[in-house]
Structure 1
Amino acid sequence: MRQRAVGDSGLRVSRIGLGTLGWGRDTDGVEAAAQLMGFAESGGTLVDSAPFYGDGVSQRILAELLDDVVPRSQLVLSSSSGIHPGRERLDCSRRALIGQLDATLKELGTDHLDLWQVATWDPFTPAEEVASALEFAVATGRARYVGARGHLGWQLATAAAGTKLIATQAEYSLLARGVEDELIPAADHHGIGLLAAVPLAGGVLTGKYRDGIPADSRGATESGADLVVGYLNDDHTARVVEAVVTAADGLGASPLAVALAWVCDRPGVASAIVGARDYAQHTGVLAAEDLELPAAIAAALDDVSA
């Protein structure tokens, strides 16, 4: 798998990242182990985690797999702090950030994260205090690099003025291009790389929901219904999905590969993070690494999704 620099830093990550949002909720430990092993064997390095993923269980599953399944040293571990399990409480104070970071390190059984991100913008905590927490984490060896996720363009610029950030994580896909207005320009200005989350729009861009919601799909689950249903019954979504399917047919590829390749090749994107429910889906994601979109098809997808 191809590796890319994150922003203007020396950190390099795989073009496709492994998401663990559903581990412990939609994906059990056996499936998670198979995904992590296949990901590493394909050359994947970036593994995205957070304390609130999988209703607070995801990082515990990941911890059981580190070294036993894949050596910790082969991976670029990313996690975030500021949102607490259950997503019921937001707190980006220095006390809360460092406390959650230490808890994450203990849970994962590692002495550092390769990338640590503030999970969201906290209007109740001064930006200078957040910056000091990030700098403290790097100075004490708890984190090698730091970033911010869930930020708007001006919020990212404000955070970047206080300390050196290398990454920002945000939803980005053919059905979610709002980050192009302000966030991506702000990130580019400050030398920050984008980690594209939800690049398949919850699976909608794979075409599986064209004729309804399959019983075995994420959209049929309580945890995934809100994300998927939010895209459905919309004429714009239907046009984009049909364009992706048409492009896939012409290229002899899967709609998943087309939608993912589009995101991966967008300016400023360091990696696209995908969380598959099972190993079969995960295999399809890894296969997408080989697809290069012709310029004409990429331009057509740009137009129809604008």
Structure 2
Amino acid sequence: MQRARFGTTGLEVSRVALGTMTWSRDTDAEQAGGQLDAFLDAGGTLLDTAASYADGGSEALIGSLLGGSVSRADVQICTKAGIRRTAKGGVIDASRDTMLDTLDASLSRLGTDHVDLWLVHQHDASTPLDETLHALEIAVNSGRARYVGVSNFPGWATAAIATLAGTRPSLAATQVEYSLLQRGIEREVAPAASALGLGIMAWSPLGRGVLTGKYRSAIPADSRAASEHLSGFVDPYLDERAGTIVEALAIASEGLGATPQATALAWVLAQPFIATAVVGARTAEQLEPSLAAATLTLPPAIVDALDEVSAIELGYPERR
């Protein structure tokens, strides 16, 4: 599998990252271990998790796997902080004390003394950016994080915190949703990241699973859309526009002799501003087409056709 650097930093990662949002909740230890083995065998290195995934269960499961047959030296770990659990649910909190307390808990669950990339999970409008940035600085200076960045930040906040950071330390990455079904970052976030030297991690590059084609005729009983706690995550992409894009993707994939899953992911990886794409699966078998996409090069005509059918409207001030 090819590797890419995050922006202007020295951090080099696999073009496909293994997402673990469902680990310990919908994906058990045996299934997770199978995925990790397949991922490493394909040349993957970067694992993506967060303190809030399964209330820490995802990190704990990763820690148990790293304590077994997988060496910590073989993987790069990206985790996130900034969502605090309360009795009423998750609350966005990127204050210095919460961020650092969360990082220490993450390291304990992961069974490691550092993470390779630590991200602010959400923009916190109630906490000054300088305070959040100070937490990132402490994490790097103490050796608990090698590189830092943000996640799900709007364009203006991405630019603001990256500019404020300067070199104390500079931000390496931003993780945002990006796929044929969600191209909103092309308006502001991607240009800001490119201008400021941040690499982009694309989460949900398969359109929350819709781009696999599994929902073309019905909702499978074992799918996320049929899940009580994940159906709301998938529903926004089960509309008419998404259906048109999925059908175009299916036609293109058939012509290429590839799966829609591989073609959709290859389209994301073909975008020059994307460093890596985070893919998740329930089993190792479901992961295989995504791993195959790392070596799939789409013909320019296919890229152009998919660009056209999924294009978003750009208006003032992005385009006049």
**The residue matched to 1:10 in structure 2 has which SS?**
coil
TM-aligned CA deviation for residue 203 of structure 1: 1.1
TM-aligned CA deviation for residue 290 of structure 1: 2.1
TM-aligned CA deviation for residue 133 of structure 1: 1.0
| 2:185 equivalent in structure 1 | 179
Determine whether 1:287 maps to 2:289: no
The CA distance in 2 between the partners of 1:223 and 1:294, in whole Å, is 38
TM-aligned CA deviation for residue 69 of structure 1: 2.8
Q: Is the 8 A contact 1:56 1:85 kept in 2?
A: no
The list of structure 1 runs, each at least 4 consecutive aligned residues, that deviate by more than 2 angstroms after superposition, is 84-87
TM-aligned CA deviation for residue 109 of structure 1: 0.9
Which of 258, 262, 277 matches 1:253? Answer: 258
Q: Is the 8 A contact 1:248 1:254 kept in 2?
A: yes
The CA distance in 2 between the partners of 1:54 and 1:263, in whole Å, is 27
| 1:40 equivalent in structure 2 | 40
TM-aligned CA deviation for residue 85 of structure 1: 4.2
Q: Is the 8 A contact 1:51 1:84 kept in 2?
A: no
Using the size of structure 1 for normalisation, the TM-score is 0.97
**The residue matched to 2:35 in structure 1 has which SS?**
helix
The one-character-per-residue Cα deviations of 1:182-207 (angstroms, maximum 9, x if unpaired) are 00001001000100000101111111
Which of 183, 206, 210 matches 1:200? Answer: 206
| 2:12 equivalent in structure 1 | 12
CA RMSD of aligned residues (A): 1.1
Unpaired runs of 5+ residues, structure 2, are 312-320
The one-character-per-residue Cα deviations of 1:261-305 (angstroms, maximum 9, x if unpaired) are 001111211100011011210122212222110011001100000
The CA distance in 2 between the partners of 1:85 and 1:253, in whole Å, is 41
TM-aligned CA deviation for residue 239 of structure 1: 1.1
The CA distance in 2 between the partners of 1:207 and 1:109, in whole Å, is 38
| 2:129 equivalent in structure 1 | 127
TM-aligned CA deviation for residue 67 of structure 1: 4.2
**The residue matched to 1:63 in structure 2 has which SS?**
helix
Determine whether 1:210 maps to 2:216: yes
The CA distance in 2 between the partners of 1:26 and 1:55, in whole Å, is 13
The CA distance in 2 between the partners of 1:222 and 1:187, in whole Å, is 35
Amino acid at match of 1:132: H
Using the size of structure 2 for normalisation, the TM-score is 0.93
Q: Is the 8 A contact 2:94 2:132 kept in 1?
A: yes
Which of 128, 139, 148 matches 1:137? Answer: 139
Determine whether 1:237 maps to 2:239: no
The CA distance in 2 between the partners of 1:94 and 1:55, in whole Å, is 20
The one-character-per-residue Cα deviations of 1:74-112 (angstroms, maximum 9, x if unpaired) are 111000111124752221111111111111111111111
Which of 157, 160, 164 matches 1:158? Answer: 160
Unpaired runs of 5+ residues, structure 1, are none
